[in-house]
Amino acid sequence: MVHTNVLNENAVVGFIGTGVMGKSMAGHILSKGYKVLVYTRTKEKAEDLVEQGAVWKQSVADVAREANVVITMVGYPYDVEEVYLGANGLVANANEGTFLIDMTTSTPSLAIKIYEEAKQKGMYSLDAPVSGGDVGAKEARLAIMVGGDEKAFEACKPLFELMGQNIVYQGPAGSGQHTKMCNQIAIASNMIGVSEAMVYAKKSGLDPETVLKSISTGAAGSWSLSNLAPRMIAGNFEPGFYIKHFIKDMGIALEEAKEMGMETPGLELAKKCMMN
């Protein structure tokens, strides 16, 4: 029986991975008065959250044993696999009835594997990758795409609403990750177009900021044009999302597309350009 609301007065939320985005996401939950346990490999990255009232834990297993809900936002699929399926991981150490929510962009096949392992232990697993970068995380307006059992999604929706605005249930386990691949494929070629457009504007003697006023609201309009182009123009290279992780995402999408017999020349070109 899925609990109708995971955020009751006894809720303890574990958050593993407090990097560029995870730190803000965990902060929103903490700011609403919930007990939040944090663990990350580099403890310094969690210091601000601890100062705000989060409780530091020494390991993934320690978080698992105490939390009702555990959210993960780590780097690569191998990190996800270790955190969830390792001997000291979540599935081996969490209590029956725990909700496990992976918000890392990872592989659909791994999301399905985690779901199946968790279900055998009486736990609920959701794959819920996000889009929106550091700004979306800071402003709690991430797009969250969710795969898993729909009842588990509904139970966790109040938690998702603390971190994002566009929250959509996509289907069974792995569906959230597949949706994120669609997102990354759409962004990849678009980023190249945005970069080339801004260079073209500058080389032709135009004012890039004035050019943006014309093209950002027309047919060329996109999130990347509205949010990333101004940062390019300002010379702001603070990471909203590390390129190494985007290259990882494109690699996953290429492998998934290959498995489905699909050709993705635009994605292949984008990955090649970003690796140079």
Q: Which CATH architecture best describes the domain 12-172?
A: 3-Layer(aba) Sandwich (3.40)
Q: Could you give the count of Cα atoms lying within 13 Å of 91 in the half-sphere of its Cβ?
A: 23
Q: How far apart are CA 170 and CA 27, in angstroms?
A: 26
Tokens of 85: 């399926």
Domain map (residue ranges) of the chain: 12-172, 179-275
Q: Which residue has the tokens 């939950």?
A: 29
Mapping DSSP onto H, E and C, the string for 100-155 reads EEECCCCCHHHHHHHHHHHHHCCCEEEECCEECHHHHHHCCCEEEEEECCHHHHHH
Q: What is the pLDDT of residue 4?
A: 56
Q: What is the pLDDT of residue 20?
A: 87
Phi, psi of 12 (to 5 degrees): -125, 115
Catalytic (active-site) positions = 180
Tokens of 208: 């890039």
Q: Which CATH architecture best describes the domain 179-275?
A: Orthogonal Bundle (1.10)
Answer yes or no: same fold for 12-172 and 179-275.
Answer: no
Q: What is the pLDDT of residue 96?
A: 96
Claim: this prediction has a pTM higher than 0.85: yes
End-to-end, the C-alpha distance of the chain in Å comes to: 51
How many Å is the maximal CA-CA distance in the chain?
A: 64
Q: Tell me the pLDDT of the chain (276 aa) as tens digits.
A: 566 566 676 789 999 999 989 999 999 999 999 999 999 999 999 999 999 999 999 999 999 999 999 999 999 999 999 999 999 999 999 999 999 999 999 999 999 999 999 999 999 999 999 999 888 999 999 999 999 999 999 999 999 999 999 999 999 999 999 999 999 999 999 999 999 999 999 999 999 999 999 999 999 999 999 989 999 999 998 877 778 989 999 999 999 999 999 999 999 999 999 988
Size of the chain in residues: 276
- 58-80 burial by CB neighbour count: b if 16+ within 10 A, else e? eebbbbbbbbbbbbbbbbbbebb
